Chain A
Amino acid sequence: ETGVTQTPRHLVMGMTNKKSLKCEQHLGHNAMYWYKQSAKKPLELMFVYNFKEQTENNSVPSRFSPECPNSSHLFLHLHTLQPEDSALYLCASSQERVETQYFGPGTRLLVL
């Protein structure tokens, strides 16, 4: 595997479900990011982790819970989501915060 991978690529869940999105980077980077991309909206930065420590939380609702067990893996735990949370969730990584971010293919989430 190379670059940034995300699983699953597609996810359909009900509002009462609990699911997790996984991101793995094979680039030796130290920073990882979660973004949300909704239709007709700019990309929204959700969370930033630098050396496994969360350094940014952009007022994201608590129904989204990130986890970064090490510099290569990033999870986004989802519970009791709303239909408006349906979007493409993108993971990215960079060597340092000022370096270029490389993105994964995203998880397309549909909340019913």
Chain B
Amino acid sequence: AQKVTQAQTEISVVEKEDVTLDCVYETRDTTYYLFWYKQPPSGELVFLIRRNSFDEQNEISGRYSWNFQKSTSSFNFTITASQVVDSAVYFCALLSGTYKYIFGTGTRLKVLA
């Protein structure tokens, strides 16, 4: 079975705090891809990152960083020094053998000024 679990339904932080959004996935495929998307109130899902199963290097892009660990089937997303503009719903997704995106239920992040 393929599944993506985002256990955190909603997180609230104060501006400038660091925050980590968790994503745990399940798949039996050896080749798969993991994604993070941001959905601001406007509705559009904005692509943030794609990682394939053979590349476990962590990645940093500005205030964003991603920690991919195959041993724990996790692909966590950290925002450093959060800002109000980071407030959105964040989705983790898995793409594997079925060629279907499997989305998690999303984590709503509220960054308070």
Q: Which 5 A-B pairs have the closest CB atoms?
A: A103-B45, A106-B43, A105-B44, A97-B99, A43-B103
Point out residues on B near A: beta carbons under 8 Å: 33, 35, 37, 42-47, 50, 91, 95, 99-101, 103-106
Contact A42 B50 (CB under 8 A): no
8 Å CB contact of A102 from B47, B95, B103, B105: B47
Contact B101 A101 (CB under 8 A): yes
Chain A interface size, under 10 / 10 to 19 / 20 to 34 / 35 or more = 10 to 19
Given A105-B42, A106-B43, CB of A98 within 8 Å of CB of B95? yes
**Listed A/B pairs (28) with beta-carbon separation below 8 Å:** A41-B105, A42-B104, A42-B105, A42-B106, A43-B101, A45-B100, A45-B101, A56-B100, A88-B43, A90-B43, A90-B45, A92-B45, A97-B99, A98-B33, A100-B35, A101-B47, A101-B101, A102-B47, A103-B44, A103-B45, A103-B46, A103-B47, A104-B44, A105-B43, A105-B44, A106-B43, A106-B44, A108-B43
Point out residues on A near B: beta carbons under 8 Å: 41-43, 45, 56, 88, 90, 92, 97-98, 100-106, 108
B66, chain A: closest CB distance, angstroms: 15
8 Å CB contact of A42 from B44, B95, B103: B103
Which residues of the other chain, B, contact A106 by a CB distance below 8 angstroms?
Answer: 43-44
A54, chain B: closest CB distance, angstroms: 14
Residue of A41, A90, A100, A105 most packed against chain B (CB within 10 A): A100
Which residues of the other chain, A, contact B42 by a CB distance below 8 angstroms?
Answer: 105
Docked CA distance A100–B91 (Å): 14
8 Å CB contact of A100 from B47, B99, B106: B47
A101, chain B: closest CB distance, angstroms: 6
A55, chain B: closest CB distance, angstroms: 9
Docked CA distance A35–B106 (Å): 15
